[in-house]
Amino acid sequence: EQSVYEAPTVKRQAEIDPLTGLANRQEFERRLTHLIDSAQRDRATHALCFLDLDRFKTVNDRFGHLVGSRVLRELGGLLQDSVRAIDTVGRYGGDEFTILLVDTGLDGALGAERGLDLRLTVSVGVSNFPTHGDSRERLLDLSDKAMYLAKALGRDHVCSADELSSSRG
């Protein structure tokens, strides 16, 4: 009887990031794959946001890793509180976060950062299913590249995958 009780706890621990309580990278990618598979049948549109804290290393260097960890926990909570219950916020690794916005077009996702009043800034890259790709790998890659474009444009920006082709000139 005890093992029946422990199974969900162990499974849940394998799905969450222990610092933030958000979906970990593996769980986020599993949910993204599932959503893409069902969206291809339903012709739905979804947005993926990839966030990276700007100059986060200076927080750890100046104030220590305990403060840095607290910042990551608080940001994770702010992000989770800013989305709907059907959306997924994940900690992708380090100071990178991902947000999966269900049934959300590109315009809706590009406006998602409004309302966040943070002292730290974030650079965000956004891709959209099916506009920018139909696989988990393609959407993650384009969101990541758009996030790096946002950093290159001076940080504290939101860029979409649409901007990647226009930045190569």
> In this predicted model, what pLDDT tens digit does every residue of 7-47 receive, in sequence order?
557 667 789 999 999 999 999 999 999 998 888 788 888 99
Residue 164 has pLDDT above 80, yes or no: yes
Higher-pLDDT residue of 106 and 100 is 100
DSSP line for the chain? -HHHHHHHHHHHHHHB-TTT-SB-HHHHHHHHHHHHHHHHHHT--EEEEEEEETTHHHHHHHH-HHHHHHHHHHHHHHHHHTS-TTSEEEEEETTEEEEEETT--HHHHHTTTTT---SS-EEEEEEEETTT-SSHHHHHHHHHHHHHHHHHTTSS-EEETHHHHHTT-
pLDDT for the residue numbered 122: 84
Confidence tier at 96 by pLDDT (50, 70, 90): very high
